[in-house]
């Protein structure tokens, strides 16, 4: 079977896409600085570095008492460690030092540890004698129940990588390090040219032989959903001069061009001829081993990708997903990560044993790795107070309420963020 360019073998969709991406090469949309609150879904254009530590000071992760860990060593319920209660640390206030030996400060979760303290004891393990004395009934290790300065984000660390699609937690992490503006790739502008002598605008009542435009609405919606900006240019007659002018107009202000075809062979051939006549390089493929979508046309004109989409709505939808969306991702600088290709729920094997207390549902953050033998979920363990674990993760999986854990190699379902 020959394709419409007279080649011996009709190309597969996979090869056609590879050829298209290779021809586009390193072309990207411009970059622009935007307020982080307007950056959701855009692609980060340069690494965001932390200019400071998060947290800037040691914080308690529990409601309890700030102590020197060594002064609790060996404590039990029957032989507790006695500590003098020196005062209370309030949220948002600088802690004073622990002055004397064998003293403790009451501290809330998130409170700043006094300089001499190195751990926090939970309320549950303390017996309060009176407002000046407590009994600690369980020892803590140095650093226990404490987030160290820079433990979440250390100065100089990359907090959001160039090429990432900005998610809510990435924006939160930027806010956390005081970054209010971020450089992103502009959303690619896709000009949409409708062709077909039978097509009338949606607002007009079609005469006999005419039908209303649907495809330009479908394409515009898919462009928006893919993070691009649709630019509907209107409906053009199947006339070489008229169509060529429309394509040349579109070239000036577009990152990509989608021509919503005429369904007939004649109309298709005209689009293909125009792409090749303007050239540089022109048509890359015309006709694929794909259903629906056999008459799909792909080309590049002066660096700008152009798609001759089939006339049938179902074919438009399929071909958009196979060709246009990946090209828009490339143009907007999106890094090629499995999590960006695989949305929703992804099945992967667990890279290590995970234990969990039965009786509660545990949600664990994980990265998705593409290895030779398939997808693996690498759990990101760490205190849930850390924004970093959320930024590094591609999604979460659940250890159900009735299980004690999941074994390495078991298949799990990760919900991608």
Among 363, 371, 374, 408, binds its own copies (CB under 8 A): 363
384 touches its own copies (CB under 8 A): yes
396 touches its own copies (CB under 8 A): yes
374 touches its own copies (CB under 8 A): no
Q: Is 22 helix (H, G, I), strand (E, B) or coil?
A: helix
Nearest distance from residue 179's CB to its own copies, in Å?
A: 8
- By CB under 8 A, the residues from 72 to 101 that bind its own copies are 90-95
Q: Give the HSE-up count for residue 261: Cα atoms under 13 Å, Cβ half-sphere.
A: 30
In whole angstroms, how far apart are CA 314 and each of 13, 218, 361?
16, 10, 41
Tokens (6 digits) for 161: 């990588």
Nearest distance from residue 71's CB to its own copies, in Å?
A: 23
**Between 165 and 184, how does the x/- string for binding to its own copies read (CB under 8 A)?**
--xxx-xxxxxxxx-x----
Name the residue among 241, 230, 333, 327 with its Cα closest to residue 284.
327
Among 292, 378, 403, 405, binds its own copies (CB under 8 A): 292
Q: In whole angstroms, give the CA distance from residue 347 to residue 340.
A: 14
Residue 81 vs 311, nearer CB to its own copies: 311
Q: Are 231 and 191 in contact (CB under 8 A)?
A: yes
Residue 215 vs 332, nearer CB to its own copies: 215
Nearest distance from residue 62's CB to its own copies, in Å?
A: 9
Residue 144 vs 413, nearer CB to its own copies: 413
- By CB under 8 A, the residues from 302 to 361 that bind its own copies are 311-315, 317-318, 321, 342-347, 356-357, 359-361
**Between 51 and 70, how does the x/- string for binding to its own copies read (CB under 8 A)?**
---xxxx-x---x-------
With residue 314 as reference, give the H or E element that holds it: helix 313-319
- By CB under 8 A, the residues from 206 to 245 that bind its own copies are 206-215, 217-222, 224-225, 238
Q: Are 85 and 66 in contact (CB under 8 A)?
A: no
The dihedral sign for the CA sequence 38, 44, 46, 51 = positive
Residue 104: exposed, middle, or buried by beta-carbon count in 10 A (0-12, 13-18, 19+)?
buried
**Between 116 and 145, how does the x/- string for binding to its own copies read (CB under 8 A)?**
------------------------------
394-395-397 Cα angle (round to 5): 140
Nearest distance from residue 217's CB to its own copies, in Å?
A: 4
């Amino acid at each position: 079977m020959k394709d419409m360019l007279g080649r011996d073998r009709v190309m597969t969709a996979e090869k056609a896409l590879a050829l298209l991406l290779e021809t586009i090469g390193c072309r990207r949309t411009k970059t622009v600085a935007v307020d982080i609150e307007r950056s959701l879904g855009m692609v980060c254009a340069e690494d965001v570095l932390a200019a400071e530590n998060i947290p800037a000071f040691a914080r308690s992760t529990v409601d309890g008492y700030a102590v020197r860990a060594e002064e609790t060593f060996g404590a039990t319920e029957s032989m507790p460690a006695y500590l003098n209660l020196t005062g209370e640390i309030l949220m948002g206030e600088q802690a004073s030092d622990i002055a004397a030996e064998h003293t403790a400060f009451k501290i809330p979760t998130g409170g700043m540890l006094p300089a001499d303290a190195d751990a926090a004891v939970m309320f549950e393990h303390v017996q309060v004698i009176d407002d000046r004395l407590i009994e600690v009934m369980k020892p803590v290790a140095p650093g226990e129940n404490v987030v160290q300065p820079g433990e979440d984000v250390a100065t100089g660390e990359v907090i959001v990588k160039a090429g990432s699609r900005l998610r809510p937690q990435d924006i939160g992490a930027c806010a956390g390090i005081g970054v209010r503006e971020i450089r992103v790739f502009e959303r690619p502008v896709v000009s949409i040219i409708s062709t077909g002598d039978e097509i009338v605008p949606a607002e007009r009542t079609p005469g006999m032989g005419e039908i209303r435009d649907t495809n330009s609405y479908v394409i515009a919606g898919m462009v928006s959903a893919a993070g691009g900006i649709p630019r509907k240019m209107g409906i053009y007659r199947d006339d070489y001069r008229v169509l060529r002018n429309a394509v040349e107009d579109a070239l000036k202000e577009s990152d990509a061009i989608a021509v919503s075809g005429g369904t007939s062979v004649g109309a298709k051939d005209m689009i293909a001829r125009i792409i090749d006549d303007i050239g540089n390089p022109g048509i890359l493929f015309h006709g694929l081993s794909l259903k629906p979508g056999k008459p799909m046309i792909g080309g590049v004109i002066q660096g700008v990708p152009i798609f001759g989409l089939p006339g049938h709505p179902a074919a438009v939808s399929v071909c958009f997903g196979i060709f246009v969306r990946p090209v828009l991702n490339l143009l907007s600088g999106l890094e090629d990560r499995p999590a960006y290709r695989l949305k929703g729920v992804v099945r992967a094997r667990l890279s290590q044993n995970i234990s969990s207390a039965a009786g509660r549902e545990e949600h664990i953050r994980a990265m998705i790795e593409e290895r030779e033998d398939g997808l693996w979920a690498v759990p990101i363990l760490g205190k849930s107070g850390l924004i970093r674990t959320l930024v590094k993760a591609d999604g979460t999986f659940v250890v159900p309420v009735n299980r004690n854990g999941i074994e390495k190699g078991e298949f799990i379902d990760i919900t991608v963020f």
